[in-house]
Structure 1
Amino acid sequence: MFVRTVYATGDPAGLGPALRALDAEGHDLLEERPGYRGAGVFVDRDVGKLLTVSWWESEEARRNSDEVMREHRPALLAPFAATVAVANWEVAVFHTLQRPAAGGGLRLTRLEFDPVDADLLADTFHAHVVPRLETLPGLARTALLLDRARGHGLTGALFTDHRSLAASRAGQAAIRHQGAAKARATVVGLEEFEVVHADARAD
């Protein structure tokens, strides 16, 4: 699968209208696109951050949806978004234990690595990181997204509720430290979000 992420920041007071637009018009626009495999919406209501993730069965399907979504995105995110960053990713690992639910939590880790180590990172995450993440209570889903050419990566760990997200911080910190060292990757960002919506179909 392939992914497009949209990362927007703005006045927290404007999040409500943007979320309602994404839930209505945004959802319908995505559902109409060939190859669409689900989406996620995540927020930090205190700081004013919004992350959307759309999943596609092929790189072509993602690319073909870009023009339509680019045209409608400003209206969907108004009046909230003051800054918007769009990125495209390959899904290297997608592992689900249970369906994430609204009110849960997402921990997002941003990575940088030498592009020649992309396969090493994917193999390390699959073989060493995922089994350890599975031991964290409340884990619902985890994924590794790669931009091989730029040497950028995202890992996401979704938890069923905020309590589980908070309780996992020490445990995941140890996993993150050891996994990054083994994969020769550098952690360059760490964020947490509330799950508004999360639905992706791997099959």
Structure 2
Amino acid sequence: MYIRTTEIQGDPANVDDGLQLIREEIFPAVTAMEGCVGMSMLVDRETGRCLTTTAWSSEDTMQATAAAVRPLRDRAERALGSTSGRYVHQWEVAVVHREHATPDGAWARLTWLSGGTLSMVDDAIDMYRMVVLPQIQELDGFCSASLMIDRETGRVVGTAAFDSREAVEASREVSTGIRERVVRELGATIDNVEEMEIAFAHLHVPEMA
């Protein structure tokens, strides 16, 4: 399974307009493309930052749709009131575990790491399965977790979804401890940690734990 992420810095006042476009036009168009297995959108309403994700059954189908999704991405960028462009990245899905579907009002914590080596990426996958996932599964309000990797750049991003913003906030202390252990043992660098609202959730990536 493969993922394409699009990061857009939009205008906070335009987030709902962007979401409406995603729901009514972009989601139906993208999911009609061969190999697409869903779409999601995470938002930070205070800053206007939006992260849209599309999932694909193979790297080939993801690459084959690159030209077709570009005008859709342009429309989303305009709807969100972006003035600083966008950042598009492609990932391999390494781990997915789902306890239950995300309800309305769900939030997620994303942790972006880099290490620059292929061995770090492989070690990160093992550590996520054996150390991170068993611990975050026990947290109140846990919904699902995933790990995406880029072997070429040595980057990984872990996402943990929770039932509510309150559940994400309550898990911060435990998550910080887990993150510090992971970074120490992997020799990785924390590039960013974000907490975002799961505003649109229609990804159908199968269990890969």
Q: TM-score range with shorter-chain normalisation?
A: over 0.9
Question: Matched residues in 2 for 1:141 and 1:198: separation?
Answer: 12
Summarize the alignment of residues 106-125 of structure 1 with structure 2, pairs less than 5 Å apart.
106-116=108-118, 117-125=120-128
Task: Report the equivalent of 2:58.
Answer: 58
Q: How far did 1:72 drift?
A: 2.1
Q: How far did 1:78 drift?
A: 1.4
Task: Report the equivalent of 2:87.
Answer: 85
Task: Report the equivalent of 1:191.
Answer: 194
Question: Matched residues in 2 for 1:199 and 1:22: separation?
Answer: 11
Q: How far did 1:114 drift?
A: 2.8
Number of residue pairs matched? 203
Task: Report the equivalent of 1:173.
Answer: 176
> What secondary structure, in the 3-state scheme, does the structure 2 residue paired with 1:52 have?
strand
Give the aligned residue type for 1:28.
P
Stretches of structure 1 that go unaligned for 5 or more consecutive residues are: none
Question: Matched residues in 2 for 1:177 and 1:140: separation?
Answer: 22
Task: Report the equivalent of 1:34.
Answer: 34
Question: Matched residues in 1 for 2:11 and 2:150: separation?
Answer: 29
> What secondary structure, in the 3-state scheme, does the structure 2 residue paired with 1:98 have?
coil
> What secondary structure, in the 3-state scheme, does the structure 2 residue paired with 1:175 have?
helix
> What secondary structure, in the 3-state scheme, does the structure 2 residue paired with 1:128 have?
helix
Question: Matched residues in 2 for 1:133 and 1:167: separation?
Answer: 12
Does residue 137 (structure 1) correspond to residue 140 (structure 2)? The answer is yes
Dislocated runs of 4+, deviation >3 Å: none
Whether contact under 8 Å (1:103, 1:196) holds in the other structure is yes
Q: How far did 1:199 drift?
A: 2.5
Percent of pairs with identical residues: 28
Give the aligned residue type for 1:13.
A
Question: Closer, same or farther in 2 for the Cα pair 1:199/1:183, shift >3 Å?
Answer: farther
Whether contact under 8 Å (2:38, 2:205) holds in the other structure is no
Task: Report the equivalent of 1:9.
Answer: 9
Considering fraction of residues, name the structure with more strand: 1
> What secondary structure, in the 3-state scheme, does the structure 1 residue paired with 2:96 have?
strand
Give the aligned residue type for 2:99.
L
Question: Matched residues in 1 for 2:42 and 2:197: separation?
Answer: 5
Stretches of structure 2 that go unaligned for 5 or more consecutive residues are: none
- Mean Cα displacement is larger for which, 103-112 or 73-82? 73-82
Does residue 128 (structure 1) correspond to residue 137 (structure 2)? The answer is no
Q: How far did 1:187 drift?
A: 1.0
Q: How far did 1:202 drift?
A: 2.9
Task: Report the equivalent of 1:148.
Answer: 151
- Residue deviations 1:9-55, cap 9 Å, x none? 02211212111111111111111111111111111111111111111
- The TM-score normalised by the length of structure 2 is 0.93
Does residue 18 (structure 1) correspond to residue 21 (structure 2)? The answer is no
Question: Matched residues in 2 for 1:149 and 1:187: separation?
Answer: 18
